[in-house]
Chain A
């Protein structure tokens, strides 16, 4: 048990920041991202002994996080809660500066993408290798490259559209 604790802490310290960023990119809300981070790592904690080293542990955790994000937002919608990613982001900018405004705009633009695209682009932005993203999202690498190209274009387009308003 102590060994499991130690291993979990190590895994958490190494991966939590990236997973939090992924969740934040997906929801645009700190509280929701915290919930998702917690759910993801609870799954990691509970299933650590099922991990068989067939892939990188980070890939395994990303896969859990992606699945958690998708099911979480579906259940939030089922409960009739507000769409997480719209108004919240606009109200979250800590202090006004051009950079903060651009960052808020970036999250807002991400929120305009489809759910799966949002997750893929956050992994691209985090510079995960394509073969890992393919593994996590369950899409073939060839198809993924095409998809990523399309999402990048769409995100840039949305960002530029909002930037000019």
Chain B
């Protein structure tokens, strides 16, 4: 039969080591936010690269049909608009440092979540429709050089790809991002709530 004193001595005999310094702790916390920022930058860079590639194609390739011209114009405009929206989203989360202005950062993070939600829902359909239209128009000139079977294959392939991106990929991306952002928002809300209650 042990007494409480034995329990107390056990407690003291078990030394715990904090394997992290103050700087590392702050940096670790920043890492979670930075990974969202990095992902956002990566998407913007990818979109900008696509925009650049299509612009080069527009400038240096021979296009005889009005349909191709319209197709590339729609494609470039759509990607440019989408890239700008992505950049606006990035600016929302990069404006404030949460270790310095936690409440401002939390407010911006909530706005960012809302902007991403809009981006993956209403705006996505605008984006997908515009791209589909531009692809159809683009194939208008190209298809003249292909046999009927290749034409069908190309159109079916493009539609299948668009459908795949709009359903399975889109849903998976929305789910993953929603989880990450919700966890982060919940954490920062928890962190700021205690002091809101007291002040």
Contacts of A20 in B (CB 8 A): 16, 18
Smallest beta-carbon distance A122→chain B, Å:
8
Complexed CA–CA distance, A64 and B190 (Å): 11
Complexed CA–CA distance, A20 and B127 (Å): 49
Complexed CA–CA distance, A49 and B32 (Å): 25
How many chain-A residues does the 8 Å CB contact rule pick out?
Answer: 41
A-facing residues in B1-40 (Cβ within 8 Å) = 1-4, 7-8, 10-14, 16-18, 20-23, 25-26, 28-29
With contact pairs A38-B25, A43-B195, A99-B13 given, residues A106 and B18 touching in the complex (Cβ less than 8 Å) = no
Q: In terms of DSSP, what is the predominant structure of the interface of chain B?
A: helix
Contacts of A25 in B (CB 8 A): 11
- Chain-B contact segment, one of A9-17, A111-119, A128-136, A139-147: A9-17
Whether the Cβ atoms of B14 and A103 lie closer than 8 Å is: yes
With contact pairs A64-B194, A156-B2 given, residues A39 and B187 touching in the complex (Cβ less than 8 Å) = yes
With contact pairs A47-B195, A155-B7 given, residues A160 and B1 touching in the complex (Cβ less than 8 Å) = yes
Complexed CA–CA distance, A163 and B1 (Å): 9
Contacts of B10 in A (CB 8 A): 99, 102-103, 106
Whether the Cβ atoms of B190 and A71 lie closer than 8 Å is: yes
Contacts of B193 in A (CB 8 A): 71
With contact pairs A20-B16, A41-B25 given, residues A75 and B190 touching in the complex (Cβ less than 8 Å) = yes
Complexed CA–CA distance, A155 and B14 (Å): 17
Whether the Cβ atoms of A12 and B195 lie closer than 8 Å is: no
The number of residue pairs between A and B whose CB atoms lie closer than 8 Å in the complex comes to: 88
Contacts of B114 in A (CB 8 A): none
Q: In terms of DSSP, what is the predominant structure of the interface of chain A?
A: helix
Smallest beta-carbon distance A82→chain B, Å:
17
B-facing residues in A47-67 (Cβ within 8 Å) = 47, 50, 64, 67
Q: Which of A9, A39, A160 contacts B22 (CB 8 A)?
A: A9
Q: Which of B8, B18, B99 contacts A16 (CB 8 A)?
A: B18
In the complex, B149 has a CB within 8 A of chain A: no
With contact pairs A8-B22, A12-B25, A38-B29 given, residues A46 and B191 touching in the complex (Cβ less than 8 Å) = yes
Complexed CA–CA distance, A41 and B3 (Å): 35
Whether the Cβ atoms of A159 and B2 lie closer than 8 Å is: yes
Contacts of A50 in B (CB 8 A): 195, 199
Q: Which of B3, B13, B22, B186 contacts A75 (CB 8 A)?
A: B186
Q: Taking A71-B193, A99-B10, A126-B11 as given, write out 13 further A-B residue pairs in contact, using a Cβ cutoff of 8 Å, ordered by the A residue number.
A: A8-B22, A9-B21, A12-B25, A34-B20, A37-B25, A42-B99, A43-B191, A64-B194, A68-B194, A99-B13, A102-B10, A156-B3, A156-B4
Lowest 6 CB-CB distances: which A-B pairs, in order? A12-B22, A125-B11, A9-B22, A16-B18, A103-B14, A46-B102
